[in-house]
Amino acid sequence: MSEYKKRMWSKELVKRCYTVVRMIPNAILGRPVWAFVWVTRQCKQACSHCYVYDNSKPHMDFQVYQRTINKLKDLRIVFVAIFGGEPTLHPQLIDMIKYAHSKGRKVFLSTDITTVTTELLREIVKAGTDIICFSLDKVEPSKGNRRAIDSVDNKIDAISALKAKGYHCALHCNITSHKANLHEAKEVIEYLHTKGNIGISVRPVAYPFPTSRISEQARSLLLDNEDAERVRELVIWIAEKKKHGYLILNPHSYLENFPEFVLGNNRWDCGACRDILSIDIDGKVIQCSYFLQDVPEPFKPISARIEDLTFHRIKEYRAIVQQNLRYCNAKCYSPVYFCTVYYRTHILELLKYYLNA
């Protein structure tokens, strides 16, 4: 590494340490440290296990987005996660990234990079994106799911080339495990490890409550009792890889309880509306990604707009979420909520991952 690159990376380390420090006050006070902003529901993919996409819905208006970012700054929420659907379908995505960046927010973009051109990916990185999160579920692409190794390899290389030029954009990858691809998880993890410095998160396909948007095909993919032993063997393997330096973002406690979740024996302290604030395309506050649709009974909705939020009102909404957790918590094992709860109290471990990304 040249002296110039060493100086550039030293500056980036200082920035990342400062970012974590900025998150500590809200973490200590039990306030949100992340915000998920759903800028669109639209998506060109039709993954069988997905319940979020809705091509009939409009994109988030840019003025709503600006008000959202301004309020998140007032609430001292450092990380802004731009979600969809597929956020790269939003015609003003680059402006959104730049606006959040101009307000001192750190931008996390969740995107299916198989549907994004290499040129757009370069623009996304250059606009100031701090973390790009993508999904990789398979070794070989299929008609209904192109999130496979062959479809992402050149995209990862393009981002890595920019990182080599001084653009400090970290990469995270979600591996969504279900009945049809559980056997492919090891090969996918080994591939990601060879690409270097890609954070890896493994999660099961699960839904917290019945909804008409979940097809019978999707239900047939849910992990259940007959998969428990295969799941147990996989997470033991993943935990061993984590010990040997693989950048596995799931804490050991998540991996240990993963098989129990599949058996239906799990409850955990979900961070919805405490550690993570979620804002829908119309600027309304929601509990989490599962509550993008109308909330059925016995769940209680949260009726608030982002511009009306205060720390006190967030605390009130958290009480509603606690009631909802009685119905959805045992059926949901979201790694992002679990990990945020965990790393809120394990700051040094969070810092280690963030600095190595």
User: How far is Cα 204 from Cα 222, in angstroms, rounded to an integer?
Assistant: 8
- CATH number of the domain within which 20 lies: 3.20.20.70
Q: What's the rounded Cα separation, in Å, for the pair 78 and 108? A: 11
Nearest CA among 49, 312, 35 for reference residue 204? 49
Number of domains in the chain: 1
Per-residue confidence in pLDDT tens, the chain, 357 aa: 555 445 555 777 788 888 888 988 998 898 999 999 999 999 887 776 677 778 889 999 999 999 999 999 999 999 999 999 899 999 999 999 999 999 999 999 999 898 899 999 999 999 999 999 998 888 887 666 778 888 899 999 999 999 888 888 999 999 988 888 899 999 999 999 999 889 999 988 766 555 556 677 777 888 888 998 999 999 999 999 999 999 999 999 999 988 888 888 877 888 899 999 999 999 999 998 878 767 778 889 888 899 999 999 999 999 999 998 888 887 788 888 888 888 888 888 887 777 766
The predicted-structure confidence for 261-274, as pLDDT tens digits, reads as follows 888 887 788 889 99
* Beta strand spans in the chain (E): 34-38, 79-83, 106-110, 131-135, 170-177, 198-204, 276-279, 285-286
- Which CB contacts under 8 angstroms, 24+ apart, belong to 137-142? 137/175, 137/176, 137/181, 137/184, 137/188, 138/181, 138/184, 138/188, 139/184, 139/187, 139/188, 141/114
The residue range of the domain holding 229 is 3-356
Residue 4 pLDDT:
44
Q: How far apart are CA 123 and CA 254, in angstroms?
A: 35
Predicted pLDDT at 137: 83
Q: What are phi and psi of 127, to 5 degrees?
A: -70, -15
